[in-house]
Amino acid sequence: MTASLSPGALFGLCGAALVGIGLYAIVTHPGLLRRIVGCNILGAGIFLVFGAVARRGGGAGFEADPVPQALVITGIVVAFSASALAVALLKRLSELNVGERNGTAAPTEQRGRL
């Protein structure tokens, strides 16, 4: 069976499995941090699919296509920024919640220069 499975198909199937795991985590877990991790797994699966597309040469007819790899690099940068933003918001939210629970005022907003 392994003999008939080309690397492209293997990567594609792995990517599909990761997409499934990521989506499952995002839909079923109530915890926000787990959902953010789910998004990252989903993203990793998608980048693997892009890798499989690159290996197959796409419709362009090359032996291996460089364009999806260029797309993946941009995609990783975007996904990283998204994760950073989500984690920053989550951290802020937990600080605010802890402040509320302890009865102290929430950390005051810093004013002035960025």
Partner 1 sequence: MTPFAHATTPGGFLLVLAVILPVCAVLAIFACGPRSAARIAMTTLAAGLAIAIAIAVELIASGAALSYVVGAWRPPLGIALRADGLSGAMLVMTALVVVTVGLFARVQYGLHDGAGGGRAQTTFWLMLLALWSALNAVFVGEDLFNLYVALELLTFAAVPLVCLDGRAETVKAALRYLLFALVGSLLYLLGTGLIYGQYGTLDLLTLSRLSRQEPALSAALALMIVGLLAKAALFPLHLWLPPAHAGAPAPASAVLSALVVKAPVFLILRLVLDVAPPQAAAIAGQLLAVLGAASILFCSVMALRQARLKLMIAYSTVAQIGYLFIVFPLAAGSAELPPWGTIAWTGGALQLVSHALAKAAMFLAAGVIAEAFGHDRIADLGGFGRALPLSAAAFGLAGLSLMGIPPSGGFVAKCLLLTAAVIEGYPWLAATILAGGLLAGGYVFRVIDTALAIPAVPVAPRRPVPRRLELAALALAVAAVLLGLVPLRPFGLLQIGRDGLAMAGLP
Contact positions vs partner 1 (CB under 8 A): 19, 23, 26, 32, 35-36, 39, 42-43, 46, 49-50, 52-53, 56, 58-61, 65, 67-68, 71, 74-75, 78-79, 81-82, 85-86, 89-90, 92-93, 96-97, 100, 106, 109-114
Residue 25 CB partners (closer than 8 Å, separation 6+)? 34, 35, 37, 38, 41
Amino acid identity of 57?
G
Write out the H or E segment, with its range, that includes residue 66.
none
| Residue 65 CB neighbour total at 10 angstroms | 18
Distance CA 16, CA 8 (A): 12
In which element (H, E) is residue 98 found?
Answer: helix 67-101
Supply the DSSP symbol for 112: S
Distance of closest approach, residue 14 Cβ to partner 1, in angstroms = 14
Closer by beta carbon to partner 1, 5 or else 70: 70
CB of 77 to partner 1, least distance (A): 9
Residue reference for tokens 């990283």? 80
Shortest distance, position 28 Cβ to partner 1, whole Å: 13
Residue number, 4 or 74, with CB nearest to partner 1: 74
Q: Select 1 or 105, whichever has its Cβ closest to partner 1.
A: 105
Q: Of 3 and 60, which CB lies nearer to partner 1 in the complex structure? A: 60
